[in-house]
Structure 1
Amino acid sequence: MTPLGSGGLLLIEPPVYQDERGEFFESWNERTFAGLGIPVRFVQDNQSLSLRRGTLRGIHFQTGGFAQAKLIRCTSGAIQDAAVDLRKESPDYLRVFTVDLSADDVRMLFIPRGFGHGFLTLADHTIVQYKADAFYEPGSEGSIRWDDPVLGIDWKLPEGMTPILSQKDAAAPYLRSISKNPA
């Protein structure tokens, strides 16, 4: 487990057991994670399939009592994952953390409540799975534009490539114009 910053963001590399059949690892064990200081109860599992490299999803967050902690892993392909600390009281406020996750490793990213989250696919046919500790609530959902200059995320886009975005993500506001507090 590697802490990223001071706000509870963690890169997790679980032990992998290998033999002639292949490998095994625990992607979630409530007791183990509580022992690592992550006493969270997940209530929702999500999965996304992105067909093409260069698909960008996010930066998304939920506000208030619907804020979500997430455990992210990539089960097919590869992603550049980005987490943004949106907690105004945090010493890492507005700091961006990026981590590459892929199906070739078992690394996972734990994102505590109060962060925005997004990812860019680095391969075709990429599957991302994540657990959330609060249910999705459309009225508490928010997003920040992927290329917001305040955040300055260095996405791994090839020169001249524009990411593939949903209409919602393409219309996401810049941080300076968000009226509701993201954290």
Structure 2
Amino acid sequence: MLSEYIGIIGAVAGSVSTLLATEGIRHLGSIKVFPSEVRIKYNMNSNFKNSIYEDVKQPFRLGYDLDVYNCCNMPQILHDFTLSFYKGTTLVLEDHPKSDKKLYSVNSKGIISITQVYDMDDFDNLLVGTTKIVLKYKTSKRRSRKFVLYEGQPLYPDTGKKV
């Protein structure tokens, strides 16, 4: 009796395995993030105004532009951006950048550009001597990703360092 249905069972099993394989292939790929420009300004004893703060002394400003490419066939999201500041290998500060959006959606095979800014009144000289700045984020697959925005000479106020 089973031999009568062996052809039907084989056809259904073949269809199911093809469906599972094509769905798996559609979800392959990931988000690729490329920094296109990084701007660092670290000034001491200067007046500085923006929409968030009043006059501040010793402002630290980090701005960066990112080009994001989704090489997957499914829409993906980026979220939970965090900046980590290091002196050597020691973590000094972790904070979120100021941005209009907390979540970015990237269409399949799409490209978007993101500009984010981080401002800080460094009254306690916490960022003096920072040698490395790392940007961390999460994708729609809940994977944590990170890359280095700046790594080099220690940052000091009034250097006007631009990378």
**TM-score, normalization by structure 2:** 0.30
More helix by share: 2
Instruction: Name whichever structure is richer in strand by fraction.
Output: 2
TM-score (norm 1): 0.28
